[in-house]
């Protein structure tokens, strides 16, 4: 299994084949809009990463974006999806290395609570709360 970062000028060719893999993240969590993910990927504002194995092809995809906060620079994982998570989750270290090389202070992940169990080296730094009206 290998991790590849799709060059932004090629993302438009790959995105239609990958969109359904990562597109469920904003739908399931209601944290963002799929159309914004489309715009970020296709404009080059966000990067598309794929986990590929010779035997199975693309098994997972992730979308990241570099963000500046008031105190730091972070690599934000906006969406991630795929099958066989145990086969590709270790590839997150490649995204972490990219973030460090870009001068980021950390990697943030927006997602379902299940990611907390899968990524014990990540700590919860806040929560998202909502009251339906």
In tens, the pLDDT along 47-96 reads 999 999 888 889 999 999 999 999 999 998 888 888 888 899 999 999 99
Q: Is 2's pLDDT higher than 90?
A: yes
Q: Is 119's pLDDT higher than 90?
A: no
Q: What is the phi/psi pair of residue 8, to 5°?
A: -50, -35
Locate the domains of the chain by residue range.
2-118
| Predicted local confidence at residue 1, as pLDDT | 92
Q: Is 102's pLDDT higher than 80?
A: yes
- CATH superfamily to which 2-118 belongs: Gcn5-related N-acetyltransferase (GNAT) (3.40.630.30)
Q: Is 126's pLDDT higher than 70?
A: no
Residues above pLDDT 70, as percent of the chain: 87
> DSSP for the chain?
-EEEEEPGGGHHHHHHHHHHHHTHHHHHH-SS-HHHHHHHHHHTSSEEEEEEETTTEEEEEEEEEEEE-SS-EEEEEEEEEES-HHHHGGGHHHHHHHHHHTT-SEEEE---THHHHH-TTS-----------
Q: Is 130's pLDDT higher than 60?
A: no
| Predicted local confidence at residue 13, as pLDDT | 95
Model confidence at 129, pLDDT cuts 50, 70, 90, reads low
Mean pLDDT in the chain?
87
């Amino acid at each position: 299994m290998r991790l590849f970062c799709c060059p932004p000028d090629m993302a438009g060719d790959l995105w239609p084949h990958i969109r359904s893999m990562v597109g469920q993240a904003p739908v399931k969590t209601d944290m963002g809009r799929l159309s914004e993910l489309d715009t970020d990927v296709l404009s080059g504002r966000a990067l598309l990463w794929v986990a590929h194995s010779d035997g199975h092809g693309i098994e997972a995809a992730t979308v990241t974006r570099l963000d500046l906060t008031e105190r730091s620079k972070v690599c934000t994982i906006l969406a991630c999806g795929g099958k066989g998570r145990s086969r590709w989750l270790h590839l997150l270290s490649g995204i972490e290395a990219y973030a460090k090389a870009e001068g980021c202070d950390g990697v943030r992940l927006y997602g379902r609570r299940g990611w907390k169990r899968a990524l014990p080296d990540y700590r919860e730094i806040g929560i998202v709360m909502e009251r339906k009206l």
